[in-house]
Amino acid sequence: MSAVQPSLIDRIIRDDVRAMGAYHVPDSHGLVKLDAMENPYQLPPALREQLGKRLSEVALNRYPVPTSEALRAKLKSVMQVPAGMEILLGNGSDELISMLAMAAAKPGAKVLAPVPGFVMYAISAQFAGLEFIGVPLRADFTLDRGKMLRKMAEEQPAIIYLAYPNNPTGNLFDAEDMDMIVRAANGDVCNSLVVVDEAYQPFAQNSWMPRLADFSNLLVMRTVSKLGLAGIRLGYMAGSPAWIEQLDKVRPPYNINVLTEATALFALEHVDVLDEQAAQLREQRSLLSAQLAALPGVTVFPSDANFLLIRVANAAQTFERLVSRKVLIKNVSKMHELLANCLRVTVSTPEENAQFMEAFVASLQD
């Protein structure tokens, strides 16, 4: 095999791409996996068997119907998308975030979001050649209204992301703060598209979906990943047909594969099962949060998501000690200065939460 000349790579591949690291997914083999906000439950065996039959009938030899008409209609009704709104499907909401960046990438265009926040907003902006403006939250992770408005006025962003609840902090932003920002972005301070990212909606029971009718500059984005279907990669974004029509042009024509479509349709027919799992996880969240809060030297932040953000004395050390006890969580302490010594743990089954707690307590005492 002849070696690839580094100079040729330098000539072809963008400087910023060569300079970056790959999106790192740690090896979780043999570990209790509490790092990625997955739902720990599978579908019940009887439903899995039915799904197997359904999938065996899917025409693998055919391209998907490019509009995914049936799945879009099902999502609209199950997820209570307001009448008159349209939806766009993505291969995970990650793909929708890329599509938004691609479609808005005029020269000099900017993306603005509170930080610490979901990293893909910044990464997708960079890939598409947009500038990313991060506006720090307050120390308690609430929105800093003054700072947001000032930056919105100064930077005139094309797109503003508000994750509701926010990742990695877990909190729902204050309703009045959100309202004010969406209004201000609707012409008063800037003219921006506001994307409310509701990836954790099943755990929040609070949504901007009904507000779509109130704001013409609003899109609501969701995913089935945290609901229990992370493996099928399906995200959706709801909003005015005028926006969706434009964004649909940058969507790869067959981005939702036939197995994903069939699985999602099946799962949505049984969404009560997934809703019940989410309810159990919400209950476990309260229990775990109370247990953690009772530990000396540990701060637990309020969460409306399926994870908890916690602050300890030495996050790097606690993280490593947990790994040595076969528990994998996420050390987010280097993501942003506001997250100093913070760890993020996914809420799981009672058994896995107990394993985590035991390992965590031991890791603090070593």
Ligand X SMILES: *Cc1c(COP(=O)(O)O)cnc(C)c1O
Q: Which of 103, 118, 141, 193 binds ligand X (CB under 6 A)?
A: 118
Cβ proximity to ligand X: between 87 and 364 the closer is 87
Residues 205-224 that bind ligand X (CB under 6 A): 223
CB of 186 to ligand X, least distance (A): 23
* Residue 141 binds to ligand X (criterion: CB under 6 A): no
| Of 35, 86, 94, 304, the one binding ligand X by CB under 6 A | 94
Closer of 225 and 363 to ligand X (Cβ): 225
Report, in Å, the least distance between residue 214 CB and ligand X.
22
Separation between Cα atoms, residue 240 and residue 86, nearest integer Å: 6
Task: Give min distance, CB of 87 to ligand X, in A.
Answer: 14
Q: With respect to ligand X, which residue has the nearer C-beta, 236 or 364?
A: 236
Give 163 or 190: the residue with its C-beta nearer to ligand X. Answer: 163
Interface with ligand X, residue 308, by CB under 6 A = no
CB of 118 to ligand X, least distance (A): 4
3-state secondary structure of 209: helix
Contact 312, 364 (CB under 8 A): yes
Question: Looking at 71, 87, 89, 93, which residue binds ligand X (CB under 6 A)?
Answer: 93
Among 169, 171, 186, 225, binds ligand X (CB under 6 A): 225
In this chain, which of 167, 277, 284, 289 binds ligand X, going by CB under 6 A?
167
DSSP SS3 for 236:
strand
Q: Assess 92 for contact with ligand X (CB under 6 A).
A: yes
Query: Under the criterion CB under 6 A, does residue 194 sit at the interface with ligand X?
Result: no
By CB under 6 A, the residues from 68 to 87 that bind ligand X are none
199 near ligand X, rule: CB under 6 A: yes
Q: Which stretch binds ligand X (CB under 6 A): 5-13, 20-28, 91-99, 271-279?
A: 91-99
The widest CA-to-CA distance across the chain, in whole angstroms, is: 62
**Alpha carbon distance 73, 85 (integer Å):** 11
What are 345's two structure tokens? 């743990």
Q: What are phi and psi of 235, to 5 degrees?
A: -120, 160
Rule CB under 6 A: say whether 235 interacts with ligand X.
yes
- 281: Cβ contacts below 8 Å, ≥ 6 apart: 39, 203, 306, 347, 348
Sheet architecture: strand order including 330-331:
299-300, 307-311, 342-346, 330-331
What does the alpha-carbon distance between residue 190 and residue 353 come to, in Å, rounded to a whole number? 45
Q: What are the C-alpha distances in Å from 127 to residues 20, 22, 131, 357?
A: 11, 13, 10, 39
The DSSP code sequence of 329-363 is -EE-TTT-GGGTTEEEEE---HHHHHHHHHHHHHH
* Number of residues lying near ligand X (CB under 6 A): 12
Interface contacts to ligand X, rule CB under 6 A: 92-94, 118, 163, 167, 197, 199, 223, 225, 230, 235
